Structure 1
Amino acid sequence: MDVQIKTAEKPEQPFPLLFLEYPATIHYHELRKTKRTIIFVPCTFHPVSHSECYGALTDLSISGCLCRVKNVRNRKLPELNIHDRVHLRCLLPGTTEEQKIHGIIRNLKKEKHATRIGVEFENLQPHLHEIISNYIYAVENSPE
């Protein structure tokens, strides 16, 4: 990364210090393969060979999503592991029927009030690919 930094000050007393000016421009480089956008869509999260639980998609891309499942005292979340297969059912923007999406757990983060589950889509159907692409395009190109 090429960053232009200027020295703002260099006092020697009471001991040597170096103050730098924050650069006016920093180059941004996206590390993800595909663009993702924030979303809130209620969903049913169903780990294969476990009972389903309810949550929400909070982040969506062509390649996957982030699902947030609330931790409820009287309802324990099934044991989940990286690489487990899951099915998601949700009503995606622009659809009138619930969609079933297959995926693999790629990331898990258990927090006090919720568990965040990163899911990579597996064999995403072409019509769902188009729906998600159109949604991301619309969000990115909407006037703020």
Structure 2
Amino acid sequence: MAQQRKGSETHDAAMLSISIGTKILVEPAGMGDRFKSDFVGMVRGSYLIVKVPRIPGLNDFLYVEKPVTVRYLHEGQVYGFGSEVVWNLSAPYRLLFLKYPKSIESLNLRKAQRVDCFLPIELGGAGSDGEYIRVTGMMLNLSAGGCQLVLDSKEDENGLPSFSVDEKVELTFTMMGTDMPIALTGKVKNISLHKNRMYIGLMFQDMVDEHRQAISSYVENVTDYLME
């Protein structure tokens, strides 16, 4: 694989975590491009099996011992490893056998670049004075582990809401591209003020599986850019 990227970790491949049906990206050396595939199975310590799509000229880059790089998303982390072609099977099914990797690299999306968005939100919490408040605002970016919000001051004597760092808050919004309402709790990690706006960095906590999957699916749509 290429040089280890900043913010990533390298692990022994014995802990390789991947589920059957996982969408993966395979990049043969020298091809200058990569193709999407599905993980089919493996014999741990020996080889992995993935599907081969029907792409003109692809087989020219999938001969035995050809180096490849594989990347995929699993439970909020991008994983990648170097391998080589063991065998390219064309019948009865188009399957590619890859050598089991010696090590894998992981990049936690919670520490990676966030995905820009512009979603209306509601934020509720006790505030610094202990009185429950609920305000509206916008979500500026989103990752698997948190988001950044912006709140405008109200046009009255109250001004900006009185949230504080480490405060537990309740966030609600509708997931982009769906009608799914998401309500979750988070912890305020940082606050900054600029003119009449408050910017809040929020870390998600105790998400239900349905909401975690909805957010992870959105992040997965831009994984290709994160992995370049």
- Return 44-53 or 111-120, whichever deviates more: 44-53
Unaligned runs of at least 5 residues, structure 1: 1-26
Which one of 132, 142, 156 corresponds to residue 60 of structure 1?
142
After the TM superposition, which segments of 4 or more aligned residues of structure 1 sit over 6 Å from their partners? none
Higher strand share: 2
Count of residue pairs brought into register by the alignment: 116
TM-score (norm 2): 0.46
> Where do residues 103-122 of structure 1 align in structure 2 (5 Å cutoff)?
103-122=186-205
Which amino acid letter does the alignment assign opposite residue 29 of structure 1? K
Match of 2:118 in 1: 40
Say which SS state the counterpart of residue 52 (structure 1) adopts. Answer: strand
Q: Is the 8 A contact 1:50 1:78 kept in 2?
A: no
Q: How does the TM-score come out when normalised to structure 1?
A: 0.70
Encode CA deviations 1:25-70: one digit per residue, 9 max, x unaligned.
xx96248942321111100011134221110111111111111101
Q: How does 1:1-144 map to 2 (within 5 A)?
A: 29-30=6-7, 33=108, 34=110, 35=112, 36-48=114-126, 49-74=131-156, 75-141=158-224
Structure 1 CA distance, aligned partners of 2:177 and 2:215? 9
Structure 2 regions of 5+ residues with no counterpart?
Answer: 9-106
The Cα offsets for residues 74-112 of structure 1, whole Å up to 9 and x where unpaired, read as 142232211111001100124313211101101100110
1:141 aligns to what SS in structure 2?
A: helix
RMSD: 2.2
8 Å CA contact retained: 1:53, 1:77: no
- CA distance in structure 2 between the aligned counterparts of 1:65 and 1:72, rounded to whole angstroms: 22
